[in-house]
Structure 1
């Protein structure tokens, strides 16, 4: 993900899907970190509204129907998880374990890694992912980043954003 969003040079993301349904993401933000609004570390807990400031997001859909999952991870280690029956419809909290979230930062790199476990019913599906980030700067500006965007304003729920096909690593 790359843009000319002021102090943010780029965001790189790696994602892996394990054979047991674990997903590991690492977001690496190359930026003037001092200019970003990064919440202080706190005890990991579920909280709504993370997308209003600094938030890294993962959307997981499948090829068979319109259902999808949304996961949000904040640099504070707060998180959220939701399930949807269709485009922005029938949203419900996703019952899941607390993801493992780690943070590292220096003057020009912020790294957030998160490991989560997909629900059992999602593990055998052909999956696609939408990988995105909301980055807030101390001056109040917010930028929206995604591996792919639909036409028009940013909408991470749109199927055009689900641009990464996930395949489980083979057990070796």
Structure 2
């Protein structure tokens, strides 16, 4: 299991810490955990929902995200995971394209489990259809972990790395995990 300290796009903001951990399970299961430390209870969480519905615009509230890129390819997936236990998967052909809002949903990644835990969030995803359809091995993938946190002090944007002046979760340079 690999873990990453996610950083806020405003490096001066130190009130909340987020760690993401990634684990692959054979043959096509991806497990990700987010550990959140918020001693001042600044984060505003959405109300819980039942039965893990797929919903759009989850990033408008506190939301954790997983980006899945493919080596030497333009297409990628964005997975949104809400602490409410709602989720969604979007497909992009290349950087932020198509530009429709909400983005086009993808049905080639399935949810095994999504749970809000006392420490943060835990998710298990089935990548079988995505990987088989595109003839992918784990070594073909690279992953970006991000979080949009709604707080009493405004929106916070956490990622493995911020290579630009502004937070841009679709920037593949900032997706650091490889298998």
TM-score scaled by length of structure 2 = 0.82
- Give yes or no for the alignment of 1:87 onto 2:95: yes
Change in CA separation of 1:82 and 1:33 when aligned onto 2, cut-off 3 Å: farther
- Give yes or no for the alignment of 1:5 onto 2:19: no
CA distance in 2 between counterparts of 1:151 and 1:134 reads 17
Query: In structure 2, what is the equivalent of residue 164 of structure 1?
Result: 177
Tell me the secondary structure at the aligned position of residue 84 of structure 2.
Answer: coil
Runs of at least 5 residues in structure 2 that lack an aligned partner in the other structure: 1-5
Kindly indicate whether the alpha-carbon contact (under 8 Å) linking 1:56 and 1:134 is maintained by their aligned counterparts in 2.
yes
Residue 159 (structure 1) shift: 1.3
Cα RMSD (Å): 1.8
CA distance in 2 between counterparts of 1:41 and 1:31 reads 19
- Superposition pairs of residues 1-172 of structure 1, within 5 angstroms: 1-3=6-8, 4-5=12-13, 7-8=15-16, 10-32=17-39, 34-43=41-50, 44-90=52-98, 91-95=103-107, 96-105=109-118, 110-118=119-127, 119=130, 120-122=132-134, 123-124=136-137, 126-137=140-151, 139=152, 141-165=154-178, 167=179
Number of corresponding residues: 160
Residue 93 (structure 1) shift: 0.8
Q: Runs in 1 of length 4+ with deviation above 6 angstroms? A: none
Kindly indicate whether the alpha-carbon contact (under 8 Å) linking 1:45 and 1:98 is maintained by their aligned counterparts in 2.
no
TM-score scaled by length of structure 1 = 0.85
